[in-house]
Amino acid sequence: MKSPPTPRDDEGRATTSPTNAQEVGDHTNGLDYIAGIRRRRAAKHRVPVLECGRHSDPWPCRCYDAAESPERNAEGYYATAQHLIEAGLLPAPNPGAMRTMWRLDVEKRELARYIAERWQVSA
Number of domains in the chain: 2
Answer yes or no: do 42 and 57 share one domain. yes
Range of the domain at 26: 21-63
Answer yes or no: do 55 and 73 share one domain. no
pLDDT for residue 51: 78
Is the model's pLDDT at 103 over the cut of 80? yes
Q: Is residue 98 in a domain? A: yes
Q: Classify 104 in phi/psi space as left (phi over 0), alpha (psi -120 to 50) or beta.
A: alpha
Answer yes or no: do 58 and 73 share one domain. no
Q: Is residue 5 in a domain? A: no
pLDDT over 90 percentage in the chain: 37
Phi and psi, residue 53, nearest 5°: 85, 0
pTM: 0.48
Average pLDDT over every residue of 18-34: 63
pLDDT for residue 47: 82
Q: Is residue 15 in a domain? A: no
CA distance 110 to 26: 60
Q: What is the pLDDT of residues 37-90, one digit of tens each?
A: 898 888 878 888 877 777 777 776 777 665 567 888 899 999 999 999 999 999
